[in-house]
Amino acid sequence: MNSRKEFLKVLGLSALTPFFNNTVTGLSRPQTIVKPKRLNKGDTVGVVSPAAPVYGEEKIEIMQESMEALGFNVVISDHVTDRWGYFAGEDKLRADEVNKMFANPNIDGIVCARGGWGCSRILPYLDYEMISKNPKVLIGYSDVTSLLLALHAKTGLVTFHGPVGTSEWKDFSVNYFKSILMEGRQVEMRNPQEVKDTLTQIDDRITTIRMGTAKGRLLGGNLTVLTTIIGSDFLPEWDDAILFLEDVNEGIYRVDRMLTQMKLAGILDKLNGFVFGKCTDCDPGSGYGSFTLDQVYDHHIKPLKIPAWSGAMIGHISEKFTVPIGVQAQIDAKKGIIKMLEPAVQ
């Protein structure tokens, strides 16, 4: 427990916590989580584009064939290829497509076709009351982070940071998707441990920031997207959470800036544990005097004195975990393991 929590406890001022963290407090939050029904072969999944459009018929064909290979019937929104600037249609239209998929009793789960940018713009137009009465699996990553977190914050729904429809769907990703969403298993998420033809493992290594184990609710997603909605009513409470993050093509100074923002907003001090996945194409580059990502983690995360590591299979990569947002989990920062402590679906 961090020093600020201890301070409030000793003085009996826990009720005043919102005044210390008014940038991250919002309206009343659901007190319990809501688990969607597990997906089964023969179920119907709806595919939507809540952000950017899908470009090209071949990608749509591959996406549909991938969903069918998982055993699902597929309903693809009529608007996944719409173009309004860099969005798949105007904000209200994209929100309506999400609302319709939740309201449709013939749709068992919802897969986002891709990320891009735009989910944050549709959050005010979603029908949270209706969605709370029709809980379903919703999965995606990257820009979909804001949609996943908002639905969890507003309704208590467990959502899933994982592959999108246009992902490659390699065996590693498929196995986690099936285990968690279709079999309802409490899995241990571990990086591949292949040595291949080298003397030691080179790919997908983990780096321990601070050793230890911790328990808490899994919350997080894309770092850039998450920080853009800090201060809004669309983020959950962070007390005792395990924060997981990922990003792509960001300068290290930007990662530094965004973690600083999370620190100043009071989020980092509330955490029980921290996991950074992959920051793809986030190298120091040729600029003068850049920190490394490891140094940035040392600056912001190590002083929290919580179990933490980087390198988890979360992010803009072809092989990824399906991470349920809102469920209890335990992490081991030395081994780089995320262990679910409860099923994510009914």
Q: Taking Cα atoms as reference points, which of 318, 324, 294 lies closest to residue 308? A: 294
Please tell me which residue in 246, 250, 310, 319 is annotated as part of the active site: 246
First vs last C-alpha separation in the chain: 32
Instruction: Annotate 236-265 with b (16+ C-beta within 10 A) or e (fewer).
Output: bbbebbbbbbbbbebebeebbebbebbbeb
Please tell me which residue in 66, 310, 316, 319 is annotated as part of the active site: 316
Question: Residue 142 catalytic?
Answer: yes
DSSP E strands in the chain: the ranges are 44-48, 73-76, 109-112, 137-140, 159-161, 188-189, 207-210, 213-222, 241-248, 273-280, 308-310, 323-325, 328-332, 337-340
Please tell me which residue in 142, 167, 173, 310 is annotated as part of the active site: 142
Question: Residue 129 catalytic?
Answer: no
The structure tokens 């008014």 sit at 22
Sheet order of strands, 308-310 included: 188-189, 337-340, 328-332, 213-222, 241-248, 273-280, 308-310, 207-210
Question: Residue 194 catalytic?
Answer: no
The structure tokens 């989990």 sit at 329
42 CB-contact burial (10 Å; exposed 0-12 / middle 13-18 / buried 19+): exposed
- Active-site positions read 142, 246, 316
